[in-house]
Amino acid sequence: MSETGSLYIHVPFCIRKCGYCDFYSIEDQDLIPALVKALAGEIRLRTGISGKEGSDPEKSLEISTLYFGGGTPSLLPVRAVESILETVHAAYQVRDGVEITFEVNPGTLDASYLADLRRLGINRLSMGAQSFDGGKLEFLTRIHTVEDSLKAIEQARKAGFENMGLDLIYGLPGESPADWEKDLETAVRFDPAHLSCYMLTIEPGTPLYSLAEKKQFTPCSPEARARLFLKTSELLEQKGYIHYEISNFSRGPGNRSRHNSNYWNMTDYQGLGPSAHSFERPDHGDPQRSWNVSEVNTYIRMVEACLLPLEDREILTPAQQKLERIMLGLRTREGIDIPCFNRDFKEDFCTKFEKIIPRLEDQGLGKFTDQKPSGEKFGNLHFRLTRDGWTRLDSIVETFADRIL
């Protein structure tokens, strides 16, 4: 029988790479047709389909979510998107009501393109607005303007996208709480179903990292970052959003990103395209993660040679599994499912971490919660971080890791 999971498609093309981005992308859009053809080839290799025979239900993944990420997926011609979707539907078992998310850059859109995406069955947009402040967009070297974002939001609404998320970045050098609050207030005014608010990280190998090394700007301090994070959580919850993951907020439970939630719940997923990662938990044996080669031409050549474009894979040790369960769980509002942890790892969570949990509780950084309805005799006990605990997530995870590894 097939497993239920998610499918991710990496579209590695950008008009211009942003100075803070460390995801794999290139600017040569002439390779789009070859990449689309190679994606279809990788799907055939992974699922065993040939021609128009359809997929083998014993092999293919049952898809509950599909996500086009990048790069900039909205650089794909509509016909290319349609072709990819046709191949996916032929090869995988696509569930009714599947969530199909498409990342878009406001500087690459028009009304016709958005209407075509909706016609093709795309039912969720993730729009990389990043900011409604022109100075911030310039610092981030985005290709779009504030006006582009405002226009794209209006056009997306007219195209019928009710489930639309906005991505925002904060924690830029010199950014004050008032600056950031203005950005948030502008975003909330459009009543998006979802908001992803990411702290700016200065990753090695990026142009922004080089500028920081040359002391051309002073990064936001840890204390300022914590204040901005708390301001974000407090303001958006006051506006009716659920802070369901450390960087993500939804207008009600139904508007959570189902795709990303599958990642945090360690559900099986397949990644297609250069640099994409996959994760699977076989019926027998330990979970394993694999990842594709991170170069478009190499990826295309391998698929043309009927080779899966894998760069490497790893089997997760029991220690890695425990740590990932804790790390991902602590990122979420629900936290770590303790009965599930005890069952899967054959040890008691509270006993294992008896020196860590009381300290987190005493400091107001963590707490136990009961996730089941109060009418039930026994609840499903979880341990989660508080809002203050989330500001110290990395150091808290390190404390758990020291006990595991």
Q: Are 243 and 356 contained in the same domain?
A: no
The DSSP H or E segment spanning 157 is: helix 146-158
Q: Are 163 and 27 contained in the same domain?
A: yes
> DSSP string covering 226-278, please?
HHHHHHHHHHHHHTT-EEEETTEEESSGGGS-HHHHHHHTT--EEEESTT-EE
| Inside any domain, residue 274 | no
| Inside any domain, residue 340 | yes
Contact predicate 145/134, CB 8 Å: yes
The last residue of a domain, from among 263, 286, 312? 263
Name the one residue in this structure whose structure tokens are 């992803």. 196
Q: Are 224 and 107 contained in the same domain?
A: yes
Report the domain count for the chain: 2
Distance (Å, rounded) from C-alpha 224 to C-alpha 210?
A: 22
Q: What pLDDT score does 380 carry?
A: 67
Q: What pLDDT score does 341 carry?
A: 95
Give the number of residues written for the chain: 405
Contacts of 282 (CB under 8 A, 6+ apart): 288
Distance (Å, rounded) from C-alpha 278 to C-alpha 272?
A: 8
The last residue of a domain, from among 263, 297, 315? 263
| Inside any domain, residue 113 | yes
Q: Are 217 and 82 contained in the same domain?
A: yes
The DSSP H or E segment spanning 199 is: strand 194-199
Q: Are 168 and 55 contained in the same domain?
A: yes
Q: Which domain holds residue 252?
A: 4-263
Q: What pLDDT score does 55 carry?
A: 43
Tell whether omega for the bond before 71 is within 30 degrees of 0, i.e. cis. yes
Q: What is the CB neighbour count within 10 angstroms for residue 115?
A: 17
Name the one residue in this structure whose structure tokens are 């995801």. 23
| Inside any domain, residue 172 | yes
The last residue of a domain, from among 239, 263, 287? 263
Q: What pLDDT score does 1 carry?
A: 33
For residue 35, the SS3 value is helix
Q: Would you say the C-alpha torsion 325, 327, 332, 333 has a positive or negative sign?
A: positive
Q: Is the overall model pTM greater than 0.85, yes or no? A: yes
Q: Are 339 and 259 contained in the same domain?
A: no
The DSSP H or E segment spanning 129 is: strand 124-130
Q: What averages of pLDDT result for each successive group of 10 residues across the chain (405 residues)?
A: 80 93 91 98 88 48 94 97 97 95 96 98 98 96 96 97 97 95 97 97 93 93 96 97 98 96 95 97 89 97 97 96 97 96 94 96 94 47 96 97 93
Q: What is the CB neighbour count within 10 angstroms for residue 96?
A: 5
Q: What pLDDT score does 50 carry?
A: 57
| Inside any domain, residue 284 | no
Q: Are 73 and 197 contained in the same domain?
A: yes
Q: Are 9 and 122 contained in the same domain?
A: yes
